[in-house]
Amino acid sequence: MEAALTKKDCIITSYRDHCTFVARGGTLLEVFAELNGRQAGCSRGKGGSMHFYKKDSNFYGGHGIVGAQVPLGCGLAFAQKYCKDEAVTFALYGDGAANQGQLFENLNISALWDLPAILVCENNHYGMGTAEWRAAKSPAYYKRGDYAPGLKVDEMDALAVKQACTFSKEHALKNGPIILEMDTYRYHGHSMSDPGSTYRTRDEITGVRQDIEKEVRKELDNAVAQAKENPVPESSQLFTDVYAKGLGVEL
Give 188's contacts (C-beta < 8 A, 6+ positions apart). 196
Residue 222 host element (H or E): helix 213-229
Binding another protein by CB under 8 A: which of 20, 57, 80, 168?
A: 80
- Residues numbered 198 to 237 that lie near another protein (CB under 8 A) are none
Is residue 243 within the footprint of another protein (CB under 8 A)? yes
CA 6 to mean position of chain CA atoms: 16
Q: Which is nearer to another protein, 35 or 205 (CB)?
A: 35
Contacting another protein within 6-45 (CB under 8 A): 10, 12, 43-45
46 lies in the site for another protein, by CB under 8 A? yes
Point out which span in 109-117, 169-177, 191-199, 207-215 binds another protein (CB under 8 A).
109-117
- Nearest to residue 103, comparing CAs of 112, 113, 114, 91? 91
Binding status of residue 244 toward another protein by CB under 8 A: yes
- Give whichever of 61 and 127 is closer to another protein, judged by the CB atom: 61
Long-range contacts of residues 49-55, Cβ cutoff 8 Å, at least 24 apart: 49/15, 49/18, 50/15, 50/17, 51/17, 52/17, 52/18, 52/20, 52/21, 52/26, 53/21, 54/21, 54/24, 54/25, 54/26
- Compare residues 74 and 179 and give the one whose CB is closer to another protein: 74
The binder of another protein chosen from 75, 116, 145, 150 (CB under 8 A): 75
Cis peptide leading into residue 145 (ω within 30°): no
Binding site residues, another protein, CB under 8 A:
10, 12, 43-48, 51, 53-55, 60-65, 68, 70-80, 82-83, 101-102, 105-106, 108-109, 112-113, 240-245, 247-249
